[in-house]
Structure 1
Amino acid sequence: MTLHTPQQTTVDALLDQMTLQEQVSLLSGADFWSLPAVERLGIGALRVTDGPNGARGGGSLIGGVKSASFPVGIALGATWNVALLAEIGRALAEETQSKGAHMLLAPTVNIQRSVTNGRNFECYSEDPILTGELAAAYIAGLQEQGIAATVKHFAGNESEIERTTMSSKIDERALREVYLIPFEYAVKKGRTLGVMTAYNRVNGTYASEHEWLISDVLRKQWGFDGLVMSDWFGSHSTAQTVNAGLDLEMPGPTRDRGEKLIAAVEAGEVARDTIRARTKAILTVMERTGTLNDQRERIERADDRPAHRALIRRAGAEAMVLLKNDGVLPLSGNDTIAVIGPNARTAQIMGGGSAQLNPHYRVSPWEGLVAALGEERLSYAQGCTNFRFEPLLETELTVDYFDNTALSGAPEHSETFGEAQAFWVGHVAAGKVTPDAFSARLSGKFVPRTDGLHRVGIASAGLSRVYVDGKLVSDAWTDWRKGHTFFEEGCDEVIGEIELTAGVPVEIVIEFATKAYSSLGISAFRMGISAPLGKEAIAHAASLAAKSDIALVFVGRNGEWDTEGSDLESISLPGRQDELVAAVAGANPRTIVVLQTGGPVEMPWLDDVAGVVQAWYPGQEAGNAIADVLLGRAEPGGRLSQSFPVKWSDNPAHSQDRKVYPGLDGEVEYREGVFVGYRHYDKHGISPLFPFGFGLSYTEFALSGHTIADATFENDGKVAVDISVANVGQRSGSTVVQLYVAPRDAPVDRPEKELKAFAKVHLEAGQSRTVRLELDARAFAHFDTGRGLWIVSPGRYDIAIGTDAKQMRPTGSVERIGELALAP
């Protein structure tokens, strides 16, 4: 299946036949995931599904039809592999088709401005060029198969704190040189058919009604001709959004369009030609994706494809970054191994929020190692916990629904859950209760495994409370306060304590009732219970490590920490994980730490361990991919796409002034301007823990010789650089050749250097290759806000090539005599 060539005569002919009401009907969703059909004209229903690390389909964030879980965005960013991103895009098109959808809400291309952004895991990089190139490849692969991409979130959504109301104050130069470039690449190189606006405001105006961003930049300057949709519940007006260029309000049913929009047209607030233009954008995308005549019933399938399993495993390994190796990796496979840590037997495969899905399966590191080595040489200790919320109660629960908020009368519907969590949107209880005015009572049993104190936690978007054997233990009902759960619609977890006896069942009753919401129309709760681990668990882990040849410590975070709707408070490992690593390293010098996080962490134990692997959240094949890398069956092919600072305060967004981060009085100032990521560390002379682009290999590479072809630089600003890359090690592997441009005579304050080209190179042992890196005029330009143009100013531009932002060799320079101006 491929994208159709747009037949504007078909689209225009349909528009000519459509009434105003029919045109307006297509400008908002019919339900949570689809647009209405226009049956009179045979127009089908355009359907969308969440991404970007899979295709969830029309189900809830919890449960639903099973789907393939691919590596998350920051993992794909760490591959630096454009061809791999295109391959994943093609695979995700098949996943989207299996869910009966025509558009995938992906990729996420916001810049990793802060190391604490809860959604960093979903984004590719701190660098706009790397992000843009990867996104364009992902989009091209997806759309080759007839599925439309929806690049998001346009623009300035680099934090999850108060994201539905916060105004990102960004000067135009920083927007143009950093934050808009990935979207520009998505449009100009990827030819994306969809763009999703951000929740936040940009310089005071909501992104969904930002005429300069949508109409001037996106459409007029970049030539975008697809559809622009709001994020879910991210549209706040009628005439303003339509006139600004927002084609589609999601989800449905409509809140600000429909009859309100027809009234706005009749009142002269919105022109009929504007309605036609908005509708034409949607029909054009439908034409290109073959949706216009798609009358098929939506059928969602859980297609577990062997080819996708293999791709996920390969991509997960290629994303892993070897940060330290004192000769212990790859493992021989003959050693006794202590497998330790909270992430050892738990498969951390994805982040939280709208990107999460119900995977076909999850492979934990323990399971991956057992499959590769057998269990005889392995031993296990948890050591400590790293959960943000009390561990989810997994038991059979009977759920009774009431069509009121007082749990009164007879239940309207009953069903069974297998765990103590729910995420309700739209259709609830088989449609037998009002979605925004219902209550529910859940009842089940819990059997403690240990004697003693247990912690019971509940968090909810709505009112909730937990009874244990009739005793109220956790109360998020009486004094409910908005917190940081469920996309900032829920309260923070409320924890109560109770003494329980091992093996003695207790009755758990959870009561829930809806309440008014602020932005997103969701109702949800999550309840967990656990017996806390003490210091003896760390001591046991250290003892186990001392008795083993190798200690593997699996630590990090999970989707409770790295999640949409909530930023991190620090980049220290949660809980007592640092203490665990230190204790294990003290007991065994051959300790290897395997990190799973959605971004950087502080590493106070770094000098005391023999190896560190950053494994990210690599999808459903996590444990197998991790075992492949540890055992040398696959190369750790990743290179950091985000700088790892020594400490959080080194990060460019860190400031004593809350205006800079996390924001104050509804505004967050991007005061660092263009100096984001490695540009910030260069400007301030701060040494990162690991620099942008860094990553070790199991083999060795050498760069030698170079030529710079700049004969046309004065005329058109183009330059080509050739360099020889050789694998001088003993095994096959890969490296990333990175080219940075350093302006030396700039008329404005510019970064010391900027990544402008790169190439992922795979070589066998002893093999060499000449790599060509091509630069256009934009690679040397800065944006002149006064003239509204990109300017390549006269002067010298140094070129350096290396394998990370610190390890570079000067390659030469090019020089201009005259100025070159380029349109945006």
Structure 2
Amino acid sequence: MAQAERTRETVVEAALARLDLSAKTRLLAGQDRWSLPALPEIGLTSLVMSDGPIGVRGVRWAADDPSIALPSPTALAATWDQDLARRAGVLLAQEARRKGVHVLLAPTVNLHRSPLGGRHFEAYSEDPYLTGVIGSGYVNGVQSGGVGTTVKHFVANDAETDRFTVNNLISARALRELYLAPFEIIVEQARPWGIMTAYNAVNGTTMTEHHHLVNEILRGEWGFDGVNVSDWTAARSTEGAIMGGLDVAMPGPVTVYGEALAQAVRDGWVEEATVDDAVRNVLRLAARVGVLEGAEPVVTELPDVIDGEDLAREIARRSFVLVRNEREALPLKPGTVALIGAAARDARVLGGGSATVFPSRIVSPLDGLTAALPEGALSYAVGAHPGTELVIAGQGFELRAVCRGADGTVIGTRDVPDGQIHWNGSDLPKGVTPERIQTIELTGTFTPRDTGPHTFGIKGVGPFRLGIDGTTYYDGVQRLDNDDPFSGIFDAPVPRAEAELTAGEPVEVSLTHEVAVSGDEALMRDITFALAHLGPRRDPDELITEAVEAARAADTAVVVVATTERVESEGFDRADLRLPGRQDDLVRAVAAANPRTVVIVNSGSPVELPWREEVAAVLLSWFPGQEAGAALADVLTGAEEPGGRLPTTWGSLDAAPVTQVVPEDGELPYSEGVFIGYRAWEKQSRTPAYPFGHGLGYTDWTYESLASDGTTATVRLRNTGERAGREVVQVYLSPSEPDEGRPARWLAAFAVVEAGPGESAEVTVGLPRRAFETWDEEAGAWAVVRGAYRVEAGRSSTDRRVAAMIDV
């Protein structure tokens, strides 16, 4: 232990000794949604947490407190670049410090077990090794900026259906080799200061009470010495949680800790020494981030300032995966371009749920290409809308919130950049308190972009009154038919009004909500609702016809297709992998009209592409963050090369090996064992649309040789194209003797290389000992599997170019 760390531990022990039982147990319970209480008697200031992982929202869920929005975690993993992940982390630490945040609730390192997982955009990959390496870079970056992380969700939170109660049944081997593996890698490589335990149960025990996985494996075997915080509202039992290794129960002010834990100690159900262990972990975190008086923080010299917009743009273009490029459709040749698709104008840059942040600007594909192409070269057509659901009021709305007391007197106001209110007790407008507030009115004007019928709706629970242009369309109580405590955040808006409006003519809008205490005590101080809107929808066939005419008149057609927040979001899983709306019909029609059709797929995780052989090029852009359009223009014009490789296999749902995400009688068996992702596709001899690791650039590479001594692999390759490029060298291990109980091959190492045209490059990567081990369930230990192995290097799990044999 270094001297600075020993000094911090001394300060922690001294502070702990000065706390009585009441203070200790209060420290283990959130004082509100995002923070732990200050304890002035020991020089401890309040420790603040915030959602991530693509930005730092801070304690306010509001568009008037903007944040940098990086590309989705699937995009970050698609770069296959640990250093780029580290730089993303450094930027997020910078953002956290700007917002007064000490701990970032990220990264998410659950696996893409099934393509139906609704929250996969927030996780990295189907492969545990790639996930662990990218996650380690991210954690090291954040913590190098003096901000803590909470690696989540420990463990097996790999789907959203019944996530609060599902009991996932997983073999010890699958747990060790797949689901625990990214956490283990990150603990070893990055020493995270925190971890977040999941809602779900594993093999009969809820994760916030899982003594074996938390105390024996995480803390015992791996030596994790950070804080274990519950997912929000996940802690259910005072004694079970503290004995299961849970340090902090969030959110507050009412949790299973606090006075309930103090009473459990007084009654003899819990030893005070057990409480002390949890408090010690919290104080250690406080010392590390610099909020405990007398303890020097881990980081005393901050990293250089990073330009957030520049880094967001770089990550996006490095993440784009070019999966098809026939007839060298990309980069774009000089000439005219027809840009098509609603998502080209109204970009979807991030996923729904707790990953949501509010950037100060969003560059759409239309914006980016307009700026990059010569004047007159670009035309635009809507073509097809991804969905028909309402979205939070944004463009064209000018709104403010007016708060009134019980007598109707105005007690406070605040400008609201979009139509969403998400306030807690510490985030009310000046002069407003939870005790005084009776109603909130979102009021202002809306200037339509299009003439026709506009639909307005309400997101939230409780009494509402909605008025448009002086007419009251709804006055009643809105209820939702589920018991999810986050319904007001994640559920779809309910349509409540339709009004004929004229483009360019502003109208008055008003949505009044009568504030009520939530039925869930842990969320009692939250006020969450939103005004939603959907513009006129023209006949889909007419829109497709217009798009076809535009495509036929242009040299190249670029079609942007996308998912929506009702397809990919926290809170629910996907029912299928199809693109919503008439987007497939649009692509086919455009492709028939123009052989140089390029399709941009704006989704956070796999979708089916039934037309992929009918188009010239397919580029996957994930959820590309706030600089989406600028990065897309860089890549389409050839100013930059698409640098991404698939972190997850893409294929049809019919062929996908693992599709069960819905529990039966509360249980979800992981019956596939260690065979998920590319391991399962190969075992079942199924051919995906695009394999794990696949991705094209704008140059060609020849793999010349591979040499390995069993501990390292050295790969030599040459850029045989006509321009400089970047290649992701992927190294796989394959046992020479087939073994039904093991995958045919698995990723063991990777590296990014760069070379100019005609230049060669050589890279040496380490082969981790763990790559040769399996978990022996009988012995309860890792065991090296001896024998001959084939070490292969190439461009994807199915495109392996060079090989060498080794004996282990």
Please say whether Structure 1 and Structure 2 have the same fold, judged by a TM-score greater than 0.5.
Answer: yes
Deviation at 1:67, TM superposition (A): 1.6
Rounded Cα–Cα distance in structure 1 between residues aligned with 2:778 and 2:295: 51
Is the contact made by 1:746 and 1:795 (CA closer than 8 Å) also made in structure 2?
no
Aligned to 2:585: 579
Partner secondary structure for residue 158 of structure 1: coil
Q: Find out whether 1:96 has 2:85 as its counterpart.
A: no
Deviation at 1:138, TM superposition (A): 1.4
1:59 corresponding residue in structure 2: 60
Q: Which AA in structure 2 matches 1:18? A: L
* Contact 2:93/2:142 (8 A) holds in 1: yes
Quote how far apart the aligned CAs of 1:113 are.
1.2
CA distance in 1: counterparts of 2:705 and 2:400, whole angstroms: 70
Match of residue 557 from structure 2: 551
Contact 1:428/1:435 (8 A) holds in 2: no
Deviation string 1:218-262 (CA, Å, 9 cap, x unpaired) is 000110011111112221221211111111112222422111111
Equivalent AA in structure 2 for residue 541 of structure 1: A
Contact persistence 2:28–2:249 (CA under 8 A): yes
Alignment of 1:653 with 2:658, yes or no, is: yes
Q: Deviations over 1:702-722 (max 9, x none)?
A: 112222214xxxxxxxx2222
The answer to whether the 8 Å contact 1:388/1:561 transfers is no
Q: Is 1:627 the counterpart of 2:630 in the alignment?
A: no
2:313 aligned residue: 313
* Partner Cα separation in structure 2 for residue 515 and residue 254 of structure 1: 14
Write the distance in 2 (CA, Å) between the matches of 1:679 and 1:475: 55
Give the superposition deviation at 1:558.
4.2
1:765 pairs with 757, 761, 772, which one?
757
Alignment-mate amino acid for residue 71 of structure 1: P
Q: Which amino acid aligns with 1:530?
A: G
1:598 is matched by which residue type in structure 2?
Answer: G
- d(CA) in 2 for partners of 1:517 and 1:801? 56
Partner residue in 1 for 2:39: 38
CA contact (8 A) 1:392 1:528 kept: yes
Q: Secondary structure at the residue paired with 2:729?
A: strand
Name the SS for the 1:643 alignment partner.
coil
d(CA) in 1 for partners of 2:85, 2:3: 19
Provide, for residues 419-478 of structure 1, a one-character-per-residue CA deviation record: whole Å limited to 9, x for no partner.
332223334644745489955444444455655544333332445464446766568836
Unaligned runs of 5+ in 2: 297-302
Instruction: Trace 1:408-807 onto structure 2 (pairs within 5 A).
Output: 413-427=412-426, 429-430=428-429, 432=432, 434=434, 439-446=439-446, 452-464=452-464, 466-468=466-468, 473=473, 477=477, 480-482=480-482, 486=486, 491-496=491-496, 498=498, 500-502=500-502, 507-513=508-514, 514=516, 516-517=518-519, 521=523, 522-526=526-530, 527-534=532-539, 535-645=541-651, 647-654=652-659, 660-710=660-710, 719-745=711-737, 749-807=741-799
Partner of 2:71: 71
Q: Could you report, residue by residue, the CA deviation over 1:135-179 in whole angstroms, capped at 9, with x for unpaired residues?
A: 111111222222222111111111122212222222211111101
Deviation, structure 1 residue 517:
4.5
Structure 2 counterparts to residues 115-514 of structure 1, below 5 A: 115-293=115-293, 307-332=307-332, 334-387=334-387, 389-394=389-394, 395-397=397-399, 399-401=401-403, 413-427=412-426, 429-430=428-429, 432=432, 434=434, 439-446=439-446, 452-464=452-464, 466-468=466-468, 473=473, 477=477, 480-482=480-482, 486=486, 491-496=491-496, 498=498, 500-502=500-502, 507-513=508-514, 514=516
Deviation at 1:496, TM superposition (A): 4.8
Q: Which sections of structure 1, spanning at least 5 residues, go unmatched?
A: 297-302, 655-659, 711-718, 817-824
Contact 1:333 1:373 in 2 (8 A): no
Q: Give CA-to-partner distance per residue, 1:591-618, whole Å, 9 cap, x none.
A: 1011111011111111221111111122
Distance in 2 of aligned mates of 1:436 and 1:543: 59
Shift of 1:689: 0.1
Match of 1:29 in 2: 30
CA distance in 2, matches of 1:249, 1:309: 35
Deviation at 1:679, TM superposition (A): 0.9
> Is 1:47–2:48 an aligned residue pair?
yes
For these two proteins, the number of residue pairs brought into alignment is: 791
Q: Give, in angstroms, the shift of residue 329 of structure 1.
A: 4.0
Q: Distance in 1 between matches of 2:490 and 2:625?
A: 27
For 2:155, the aligned partner's letter is A
Q: 1:328 and 1:775, CA in 2 relative to 1: closer, same or farther beyond 3 A?
A: closer
Shift of the 623–156 alpha-carbon distance from structure 1 to 2, 3 Å rule, reads same
Distance 2:726 2:779 in 1: 43
Query: Contact (CA 8 Å) 1:489, 1:517: kept in 2 or not?
Result: no
- Calculate the TM-score normalised by the size of structure 2: 0.92
Give 1:97 deviation, angstroms. 1.4
Match of 2:754, as an amino acid? H
The residue identity in structure 2 corresponding to 1:675 is: F
Measured at CA, do residues 433 and 93 of structure 1 come closer, stay the same or move farther in structure 2, by a change above 3 Å? closer
CA RMSD of aligned residues (A): 2.8
Task: Please say if residues 425 and 433 of structure 2, whose CA atoms lie closer than 8 Å, have aligned partners that are also in contact.
Answer: no
SS of alignment partner, residue 107 of structure 1: coil
Compare 347-356 and 218-227 and name the one that shifted more: 347-356
SS of the aligned residue for 1:528 comes to strand
Change (3 A) 1:393 1:355: closer
- Taking a change above 3 Å as real, the CA distance of residues 476 and 609 of structure 1, as seen in their structure-2 partners, is farther
Cα deviation digits, residues 106-139 of structure 1 (max 9, x gap):
1111101121222111111100000001111111
| Higher alpha-carbon deviation: 634-643 or 394-403 | 394-403
Equivalent residue for 2:300? none
Mapped to 1, the partners of 2:316 and 2:452 lie a distance apart of 40
Write the distance in 1 (CA, Å) between the matches of 2:486 and 2:616. Answer: 39
The secondary structure found in structure 1 opposite 2:327 is: coil
SS at match of 1:477: strand
Query: C-alpha displacement at 1:559, in angstroms?
Result: 4.4
Q: Is the 8 A contact 2:699 2:720 kept in 1?
A: yes
State the partner residue of 1:12.
Answer: 13
Structure 1 distance, partners of 2:31, 2:91, is 28
Deviation string for 1:674-726 (max 9, x for gaps)? 1110011011111000000000110011112222214xxxxxxxx22222121
Change in Cα spacing, 1:544 to 1:524, as seen in structure 2 (3 Å) is: same
When normalised by structure 1's length, the TM-score is 0.90
- On the 8 A contact 1:228/1:246 being kept in 2, the answer is yes
Letter of the 1:759 partner, please give it.
A
8 Å contact 2:388–2:534 — kept in the other structure? no
Shift of 1:330: 3.4
Does the 8 A contact of 1:49 with 1:55 survive in 2? yes
Judged with a 3 Å threshold, the aligned counterparts in structure 2 of structure 1 residues 684 and 462 are, in CA distance, closer, same or farther, namely farther
Q: Indicate how the Cα distance of structure 1 residues 649 and 403 shifts in structure 2: closer, same or farther if over 3 A, else same.
A: farther
Secondary structure at the aligned position of 2:806 is classed as strand
Q: 1:203 to 1:465 in 2, by over 3 A?
A: farther
Distance (Å, rounded) in 2 between the aligned partners of 1:396 and 1:678:
48
Assess, with a 3 A threshold, how the Cα gap between structure 1 residues 171 and 519 changes in structure 2: closer, same or farther. farther
Identity in percent? 37
Distance of 1:758 and 1:325 partners within structure 2: 24
- Please list the CA deviations of residues 322-349 of structure 1 after superposition, one character each: whole Å capped at 9, or x if unmatched: 0111134433562111111111122322
